[in-house]
């Protein structure tokens, strides 16, 4: 069972470069999420999508854009990378159509370094 | 800003000892989830507690939700090296179900 698949697993960028982080889930879940995890700060929500075609800002959306391509795929784009965006990025999915008590299923993360 | 404070931030104990990790907030939650995260992987759900005062057991792990649904604890009995990891709590706010994450407790169990 693949669950939530994130690519790439590692990436090093130079300041100002752009890139897209890919995420796909095979559980037929409605909601998908992008988080960043920094030491001592827990998980912070960047964007989420309650259903195909809808996206909403989370706690730290500045510098990021997202696309819910279809029910399976949710991508995160950094248009002009900055060193402050160095982090581990996690994609998650949930059966719920909105914010709820439903558990979230996570990918293994993308470790991104911005030089 | 909604906060969910976890304590301790770091805990290193010998195999066989007992431990308790706490998750506290001033906010009321409709439910609280506990996850475990191992290095290089994403968090994995351990349990969800929903009712105030609820106690759930998962083998040697006991989870409790506070009566007022503002806090939770995780107690591990006779810790094993396989319990090593980062334990995260996440509360769903009663007002809008927004999920608030704690910063985590890094647990190391030494053989």
Whether cis (ω within 30° of 0) applies to the bond prior to B8 is yes
**pLDDT for B43:** 96
Mean pLDDT, range A28-46, rounded to an integer: 91
Cβ-contact B88, B32 below 8 angstroms: no
The CA radius of gyration of chain B, in Å to the nearest whole number, is 13
Pick from A76, A71, A103: which is nearest to A89 by CA?
A: A76
Q: Strand, coil or helix: what is A115? A: coil
What would the two tokens of residue B39 be?
């290095």
- A21 pLDDT more than 90: yes
Model confidence at A100, in pLDDT bands (50, 70, 90)? low
**pLDDT for A96:** 77
Check A99 against B96: CB less than 8 A apart.
yes
Give the separation between CA A75 and CA B76, rounded to whole angstroms: 38
Q: How many angstroms away from the CA of A70 is the closest CA of chain B? A: 23
Residue A85, phi then psi, degrees to nearest 5? -95, 5
Check A103 against B45: CB less than 8 A apart.
yes
Nearest to A109 among B42, B90, B101 (CB): B42
Give the separation between CA B98 and CA A60, rounded to whole angstroms: 14
Check B104 against A45: CB less than 8 A apart.
no
Pick from B52, B55, B48: which is nearest to B34 by CA?
A: B48
**pLDDT for B98:** 77
Model confidence at B7, in pLDDT bands (50, 70, 90)? very high
Give the separation between CA B27 and CA B18, rounded to whole angstroms: 28
Nearest to B92 among A90, A101, A106 (CB): A101
**Span B19-38, pLDDT tens digits:** 999 999 999 999 999 999 99
| Chain B residues within an 8 Å CB radius of A4 | 42
């Amino acid at each position: 069972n693949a669950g939530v698949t994130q690519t790439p697993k590692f990436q090093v960028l130079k300041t100002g470069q752009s890139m897209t982080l890919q995420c796909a889930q095979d559980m037929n879940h409605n909601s998908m999420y992008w988080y960043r995890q920094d030491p001592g700060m827990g998980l912070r929500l960047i964007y989420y999508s309650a259903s195909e075609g809808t996206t909403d800002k989370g706690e730290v959306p500045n510098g990021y854009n997202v696309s819910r391509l279809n029910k399976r795929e949710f991508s995160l784009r950094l248009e002009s990378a900055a060193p402050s965006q160095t982090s581990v990025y996690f994609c998650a999915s949930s059966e719920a159509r909105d914010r709820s008590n439903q558990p979230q299923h996570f990918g293994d993360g993308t470790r991104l370094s911005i030089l | 800003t909604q906060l969910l404070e976890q304590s301790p931030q770091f805990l290193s104990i010998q195999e066989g000892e007992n431990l308790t990790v706490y998750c506290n907030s001033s906010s009321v939650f409709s439910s609280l989830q506990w996850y475990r995260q191992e290095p290089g992987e994403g968090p994995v759900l351990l349990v969800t507690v929903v009712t105030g005062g609820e106690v759930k057991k998962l083998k040697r792990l006991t989870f409790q939700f506070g009566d007022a649904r503002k806090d939770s604890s995780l107690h591990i009995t006779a810790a094993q090296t396989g319990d090593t990891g980062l334990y995260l709590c996440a509360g769903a706010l009663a007002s809008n179900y927004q999920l608030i994450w704690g910063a985590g407790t890094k647990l190391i169990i030494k053989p």
